[in-house]
Amino acid sequence: MLYSKSYGLGENLVFLHGWGFNSDVFINLTNKYKDQYRITLIDLPGHGRSDNVNGDIDDWRDEIIKILPKNPILVGWSLGGLFAIKIADKIPIKKIILIASTPKFVKSNEWEYGIKKSDFLNFSNAMKNNLSKQLKRFVSLQTKNKEQIKIINNLINKYPANIQALEQGIDFLLNSNLISEFEKIKIPKEVILGANDKLIPIGIKKFYSAQKIPIKILNCGHIPFIENDFSF
């Protein structure tokens, strides 16, 4: 069973978090927007308070769909962006907003907007060897906001992801290619990128711009929503 919790009243807005984290990473955004939206936070399978889900990315997607409110705006950060795309390709969704995310994370001959496979594997192996320590180090490199660093570090300690989910998530990030699915989605899309993001090359703005998707670029790293000037 997946963990979810809702706050506020209004149009449905759902947050999907990234690899190794949990939905509490969005607590500041929840407090900021709960007077405008009915916000639903979901812990991905094996992350936070959610049970594991065996299978592939479609199995994870199907479990998320079971607990989604009707016709929501989906906000997907990093790995969560893959699920926003997969869900929007499967059921009616009002809009998707991708934060520091991409339909294909790893660079290939036909996709220049990813990171090298070797760099990705080095990053993921370091994370797996000491998840809590490496996630905290990763967060500290994304912002100078010490208050936000402290908040996120506390939630990393409180709700760690388990090994099975981490392995599955790495597989999804390494092998998923959702470019065609993303291009076929006809609902409104928005993208928010960090100019200093080491995981999502800023050059991907060319891909999004070619599809006339509104893009916001912030002077930050891979976690744009912890910056004080972040907004949709």
Question: What single DSSP character describes residue 155?
Answer: H
Q: How many CB atoms lie within 10 A of CB 78?
A: 25
Q: What single-letter amino acid sits at 42?
A: I
Whether 4 is catalytic is no
Q: Is the dihedral of CA 85, 89, 93, 95 positive or negative?
A: positive
User: Which of 4, 78, 101, 176 is flagged as catalytic?
Assistant: 78
Q: Is the dihedral of CA 162, 58, 181, 4 positive or negative?
A: negative
Distance CA 40, CA 68 (A): 8
φ, ψ for residue 176 (rounded to 5)? -75, 135
Tokens for 27? 């607590």
Whether 78 is catalytic is yes
Whether 47 is catalytic is no
Distance CA 108, CA 206 (A): 16
Tokens for 112? 């220049």
Q: Is the dihedral of CA 191, 159, 71, 170 positive or negative?
A: positive
Residues marked active site are found at: 78, 197, 222
